[in-house]
Copies of this chain bind each other. A is one copy, B any other.
C-alpha cells in the first residue's frame, strides 16, 4: 500500500509546550519533533495528548508553518485537523495538505452527542470537497472515551466506498482490541493504527500499520524497536516491557505526566505547563512518578541535548 509509505510505524501525538503566558512555544515543539524523529517516531501533532482542542485554529496554522520552516519533514507529519466546526476542519486540513503532510488525523465533530452516521458522513465529505486536493489522506480518529462520538464500521465502509484513496486509515483509541480487530478484518489494506503500544504487537500480527501512542512521547525508541522487530522471537518480551511501563505511567493523569517526564528528563521545567482545563501534577505526584521511572532504569536518550539546542 504505497499510500501508507511515510505513515507506517509508530507516531506520537506530540505534547505541545506553552510559554509562561500560555501561548504555544513553537521552538520547543520543533525540538521535540526532531528528537522524536531521531528515534524513528512520526509526528501526530495536534492529537488528544497534544492538547489540540485547547489550541485555536489560528495558533495551529502558525505552529505547522513553523515546524516545516524549521526543517521538520512534513511527510512524517499526521496533524490532527478534525474540529467541531467543519469550516475549521477544512481550513486546517487544506493548509496541512498544502504543506505536504503525509496524512491528517481527523476527529469527528464532537460537541453534539448521539449524531447519525449520515451527519458524520456529510462532515467528512464536506471536508474532502472543501480541501479539494488529491493529496489529502485522511486517517479517521476513533476515541469514544473522550470524543463520545464514535467512528462506526458502517461509517468507515461508506467513506471507503465514496472516497477510496482519500480516506485511508484509522486510529482506534477505543481501548477495545475487539474493535480494532473488527476494523482489520472488515477492511483489508485499510491503515489501522492501534491507539496505544499496548496493542502494537497484536495489531502488527493482524495486518495493522503500527500505533499512535501517548507514551511514544517519552518512550519512542523501544516502541519503534518492537514495531521494527515484531516478527522476531523477542517480540512478546518487548511487548510485555512496553506494556509494563505504559501501565505504570497510566496510574497518573496522562497528559500532565507526559509533560512532567519531558520536563524532568530534559531538565527544562517549562515543559510541565498545561493549558486549562488540564492542570499539572502536584509536587508529590511528580516526585512519585519520576521515582518509579528511575527504579525502572528509564531514560530519554538525547532529549536534554535536543531541547538544549532549541534555547
Spell out A's residues near B (CB within 8 Å): 22-23, 48, 53-59, 83-88, 91, 108-113, 115-116, 118-120, 122-123, 126, 145-149, 275-279
Contacts and interface: CB of A to CB of B under 8 A. Distances in A.
B116 A146 contact: no
A50 to B, nearest CB: 12
B56 A87 contact: yes
Given A22-B86, A59-B87, A86-B22, A278 B112 contact: yes
Given A119-B278, A276-B123, A55 B85 contact: yes
Given A22-B86, A279-B119, A146 B112 contact: yes
Contacts of A84: 53-54, 84
Contacts of A86: 22, 54, 275-276
A87 B55 contact: yes
A110 B277 CA distance: 9
A123 B278 CA distance: 9
A82 to B, nearest CB: 11
Contacts of A111: 48, 53-54, 110, 146-147
A288 to B, nearest CB: 18
Contacts of A116: 277, 279
B120 A277 contact: yes
Contact of A279 (B48, B57, B91, B118): B118
A158 to B, nearest CB: 14
A87 B148 CA distance: 24
Given A111-B110, A119-B278, A126 B54 contact: no
A277 B56 contact: no
Contacts of A275: 85-86
A115 B109 CA distance: 20
- The 10 residue pairs across chains A and B that have the minimum distance between CB atoms: A119-B277, A53-B111, A123-B276, A122-B276, A115-B277, A53-B84, A56-B87, A56-B85, A56-B88, A119-B279
Contact of A277 (B22, B58, B108, B277): B108
A109 B52 CA distance: 12
Contacts of A88: 56
A99 to B, nearest CB: 20
B56 A123 contact: no
Contacts of A56: 57, 83, 85, 87-88, 91
A185 to B, nearest CB: 27
A245 B120 CA distance: 30
A83 B147 CA distance: 15
A126 B54 CA distance: 13
Contacts of A48: 111
